[in-house]
Amino acid sequence: MHRQLRSALILLGVMILFTGIIYPFLVTLIAQVIFPHQANGSLIESEGKCLGSELIGQQFDREGYFWGRPSATQPLPYNGSASSASNYGPSNEELLGNIQKRIEALKRSDPGNTVSIPVDLVTYSASGLDPHISQAAALYQVPRVARQRHISEGVLQEMVNRFTEGRQFGVLGEPRVNVLRLNLALDENK
């Protein structure tokens, strides 16, 4: 019995050493050497100030900015420590009510826009933190942002095209626009 207990404790100690100390240290070291930007949160900085992360959406609700996907995190939108979906099914009354409110808000902000509202502007992403919108969702917002910023729609469409990221590895997902990067570019072009 003592021999088995001793073997088990030795094995436990070795496993703690390898899986709890050595392995995390090696993975962190390799990530910092090969992918330092990503390993440190893909932060966007300007003049020594952190403006956000490429990987986590941010709340933009002023008329002169492109708006991202709605966030399901509580109590604050885009709360990285509370990543989750709403878990509402397509027939849930609260989900349908939230979607209708977002549709109404989009129509109020741009009453002359008769284009169909892209679904990603009114529905949550799975994590509630999505920093991207579809190219269609960005282009839908061009007239409103152009009016608010007194910029031609053509210039804004070119910016949307410039900030459109292709499919990952050329095959995965759909083309998308990082809302934070696009809005920061808008602020730089004042």
Mean predicted confidence (pLDDT) in 164-183: 90
Is pLDDT above 90 for 158?
A: yes
Short-list 75, 140, 70, 132, CA closest to 101: 70
Mean predicted confidence (pLDDT) in 67-73: 85
Per-residue pLDDT band at 190 (split at 50, 70, 90): low
Domain ranges of the chain: 2-36, 42-188
Q: How far is CA 53 from CA 60, 129, 145, 174, in A?
A: 14, 11, 22, 21
Which residue did the predictor score with more confidence, 81 or 146? 146
pLDDT score, position 60:
85
- pTM of the predicted structure, to 2 decimals: 0.79
One DSSP character per residue, 97-141 reads HHHHHHHHHHHHH-TT--SPPPGGGTS--SSS---EEEHHHHHHH
Peptide bond into 70 cis (omega under 30): no
Q: Over pLDDT 90: what percentage of the chain?
A: 51
Mean predicted confidence (pLDDT) in 153-174: 91
Which residue did the predictor score with more confidence, 4 or 52? 4
